[in-house]
Amino acid sequence: MVDVGAKEVTRREAVARGFIAIGRAGLEAIRSGSVAKGDPLQAARLAGIMAAKRTSELIPLCHPLPVSYVDVQLGPTADGYEVIATVRVEARTGVEMEALMAVTVAVLTVYDMLKAIDREMVIGEIRLIKKTGGRSGAYRRSE
């Protein structure tokens, strides 16, 4: 692991985004509440929050962080859902991996819950949208 002991503790935030494209039958199942496993959107939201808090257990050499806030939102798009995760921490290192992990696990949860209905779902465009705090300062992806 990288030694971050000499770095200053600062308030840090990262926002990540991803998408899952879902076919008509899957979208209809979500919107009608007829998915056999339950509500994929709520399950994905909770899974994303849990994943952000456990990122260091899954990514080698990733520092465990005292995450103070995680928000995972799923919004409908024309052909699926957009997932946006916001994670905040006061720490010596950034929280980008936690935000990216939250988005990734959220879309995988939707996939898992719908795979019996739609085998052609596509997960994609998972990326960091912005980060603040730390020595390197702010970053915002230009869209």
Instruction: Spell out the domain ranges in the chain.
Output: 10-133
Residue 3: predicted pLDDT: 64
Q: Which of 39, 71, 112, 118 is catalytic?
A: 112
Cα–Cα distances (Å) from 77 to 18, 59, 82, 141, in that order, read 12, 30, 7, 20
Please, how many CA atoms are within 13 Å of residue 114, restricted to the half-sphere of its CB? 32
Residue 86: predicted pLDDT: 98
Residues 123 and 106 sit within 8 Å (Cβ to Cβ) = no
Residue 62: predicted pLDDT: 87
Q: Which residue in the block uniquely carries the two structure tokens 């994905």? A: 44
Is 0.75 topped by the overall pTM? yes
The CATH class of 10-133 is: alpha beta
Q: Which residue in the block uniquely carries the two structure tokens 């009608």? A: 32
For residue 71 the two structure tokens come to 């928000």
Residue 136: predicted pLDDT: 74
7, amino acid identity: K
pLDDT per position as a tens digit, 18-73: 999 999 999 999 999 999 999 999 999 999 999 999 999 999 988 889 999 999 99
Catalytic status, residue 118? no
**pLDDT tier at 5 (50, 70, 90 boundaries)?**
low
pLDDT per position as a tens digit, 81-140: 999 999 999 887 778 999 999 999 999 999 999 999 999 999 999 999 999 887 777 778
Q: Bridge-partner residues for 84, per DSSP?
A: 17, 73
The radius of gyration of the chain from alpha carbons, rounded to an integer in Å, stands at: 16
Residue 131: predicted pLDDT: 93
Residue 91: predicted pLDDT: 80
